[in-house]
Structure 1
Amino acid sequence: MLLLLLLTSAFVLLPWAGAGRIIGGWEVKAHSRPYMAYLKIQTGSQTAYCGGFLIRPDAVLSAAHCLDKKGTVRVTVILGAHNITGREQSQQRTRVGQWVIHPKYSRAGFKNDIVLLKLKPRARINENVKFISFPRRNDRVGAGAECRVSGWGWTSDTGNRTNVMREVKLKVQNEKICQHLSHNYQHQSMICVGDEYSKKAIYHGDSGGPLVCNKKAYGIVSHGYKRRLFPEVFTRISYFEPWIREQLRRFALQELPGSPSSD
């Protein structure tokens, strides 16, 4: 599902490579993952794509590297989609004017690879658009856990593409595997996921999508390693839970009458 671009010692699920790739996965039942978001990112004449997910009617989580660009960036969030190329009646499209990248984010090693986007107007919650919960600070998913990742786009490393949402099942790995591959791996803020025996993976453009375990979003698709499909690295959401909640509080304050962003 998620195929990663090769980039020096690490490769990122670069958004401009496509809407995502689920390798060894399957098409999901339409609108059965109502928390999924599709990010269209325009920088000048270039258009890139990433995944994301709704955690509150006014907030979407994604990967910071999706929006780490020079120049003017315009972001459109699409919710309620199954076939992303169609104008489905279920789709809600919102031009995003505000987002917050983690202050300690670094493209070198993709540390703190997390961004929170503010939706205004808020998403209309219905059967096709719902938010997903995320874990508390001390709630960690351990090695051996089976999780799922959803996205749109490539279905093989040869470039076959699909426009409908697909999903793959991936297993959380022992952190020593990723630590051995890169000194940039940080066990507190990252999750090591996927093994070569399953022949399933994520690739181009699935960045920002959620790692869902036990109906909670535990990770965010971040990056992989040079010349390898397995394992992949996800941002560990529980580590950033205090930061996320602080940003959500700020979003709420901005909606109060008289605040700079309440007009």
Structure 2
Amino acid sequence: MTIIIISLLLLASLLPHLTFTAHVNVGIVDGTQAKPHSKPYMVSLQTYEKREHICGGFLISDEFVLTAAQCRNGYEILVVVGAHDLGYSKSVIRVKSYISHPDYIPSTFQNDIMLLRLEKKVELNDNVRLISLPKKGEDVEAGILCNVAGWGATRDGPQSYLLMEAYTTTKPQTDCQLKWESKFFPSQMICANGSGGSCSRDSGGPLVCENTAVGVTSFGDPDRCNSPDRPNVYTKISPYRQWIDEQMTC
């Protein structure tokens, strides 16, 4: 009887650890849980009716979020700022206007970029910050270690309530073209691959290299997230700087 009681007590002491481990092994494919609020520029885009996470995004001013044009998809979107665990209460802001790039082509993901003007300005603090963008014509080189984050799905599992992250390396444009052929547009896109990467519902989040958001998560292999054969593709931000600046000053 004494042995049974001791065994039960040991099991009870391990339960929090087991629960935590099971909880964090989700999200970005082969990634790890981000340190809470270490990416204060990240936002979750959610449907107005069901409060369901559909995409990522990132704050580039106290009034604008940058994301992928594909995330609109007819939804009325709510923007959640300052979050790490989507299961807890957080600041939610409605979108005043959706500004998709006028040349966005859904079938090819060309010009897959969109600005969201928020209904009210966010209050910047330790958990809510902006991220810088590259200058016009300032391209990221191949071989740079970068970071992606999101609340998206695993390869075989559900989406994550915790913000996950992974490291990925930018590839030469010739490699991207070889892997994706006619689906890759070098003037508009970057590709990257690593031990972990983006998956479903991570679209719209930033590709961050050297503390700068250089790309917007756009698409990957539809049959396998973070496929070694087809690197994830990101909309290159630098060619759109003039368009972004013009929209933000309208």
The CA deviation at 1:68 is 3.0
Q: Which has the higher contact order (CA 8 A, sep 6+)?
A: 1
Pick aligned residue for 1:157 from 147, 155, 158: 155
The CA deviation at 1:86 is 1.0
Cα separation, 1, equivalents of 2:53 and 2:131? 24
The CA deviation at 1:45 is 7.4
Cα separation, 1, equivalents of 2:175 and 2:47? 33
The RMSD of aligned alpha carbons is: 1.8
The aligned residue for residue 8 of structure 2 is none
The CA deviation at 1:162 is 2.8
The structure with the greater share of residues assigned to strand is 1
Cα separation, 1, equivalents of 2:156 and 2:103? 35
The aligned residue for residue 171 of structure 2 is 173
CA distances 1:210-249 after superposition (whole Å, capped 9, x unpaired): 0000101000000013434240100000110000000011
Report if aligned partners of 2:68, 2:112 keep a CA contact under 8 Å in 1. Answer: yes
Cα separation, 1, equivalents of 2:120 and 2:174? 43
**For 1:1-263, what aligned pairs fall within 5 Å after superposition?**
21-42=27-48, 47=52, 49-69=54-74, 73-87=75-89, 91-154=90-153, 156-180=154-178, 181-194=180-193, 198-228=194-224, 229=227, 230-250=230-250
Gaps of 5+ in 2: 1-25
The CA deviation at 1:21 is 3.5
TM-score by length of 1: 0.79
- 1:211–1:227 Cα change, 3 Å: same
Partner SS for 2:238: helix
The structure with the greater share of residues assigned to helix is 2
Cα separation, 1, equivalents of 2:67 and 2:184? 19
Report if aligned partners of 2:27, 2:162 keep a CA contact under 8 Å in 1. Answer: no
Report if aligned partners of 2:167, 2:195 keep a CA contact under 8 Å in 1. Answer: no
Cα separation, 1, equivalents of 2:188 and 2:152? 27
Report how many aligned residue pairs link the two structures. Answer: 220
Larger Rg: 2
- Give the % identical residues: 36
Cα separation, 1, equivalents of 2:119 and 2:158? 35
Report if aligned partners of 1:21, 1:205 keep a CA contact under 8 Å in 2. Answer: no
Cα separation, 1, equivalents of 2:148 and 2:133? 15
